[in-house]
Amino acid sequence: METLAQQIVYAAIDEVNLDQDDVALHIAKSPDSLLFAKNSTVDSLTLVRLFLAVERIIEEKAAKEIVLVDESAFEDEQSPFSTIGGLVNHVDKLLVA
């Protein structure tokens, strides 16, 4: 069963992928899919669009305004933006905060 955080991130991925003409650049909905990492195929504009979509969907589904990228996101030893799984975990923490 998907968590709310996973539903939100996957909905944002669907939205971003719809606007991406090159299927090879689509973001896979898998916890291990790379986002902000050395071998990622996700460019910076796509990453920003994903983050904005996540923030908007959180507001719609959870009636909560959050800032996905702030200084607390960089306090962890591993970036929460390296993979889809990390992003889902980060969103989950923000939802319960």
How far are the Cα atoms of 20, 66, 73, 92 from residue 15, in angstroms, in the given order? Answer: 9, 19, 23, 20
Query: What span, in angstroms and rounded, lies between the C-alpha atoms of 81 and 48?
Result: 11
pTM confidence score:
0.90
Local structure of 83: helix, strand or coil: strand
Q: Mind listing the pLDDT tens digit for each residue in 31-50?
A: 999 998 888 889 989 999 99
How far are the Cα atoms of 20, 23, 50, 65, 90 from residue 43, in angstroms, in the given order? Answer: 11, 14, 11, 25, 20
pLDDT score of 69? 86
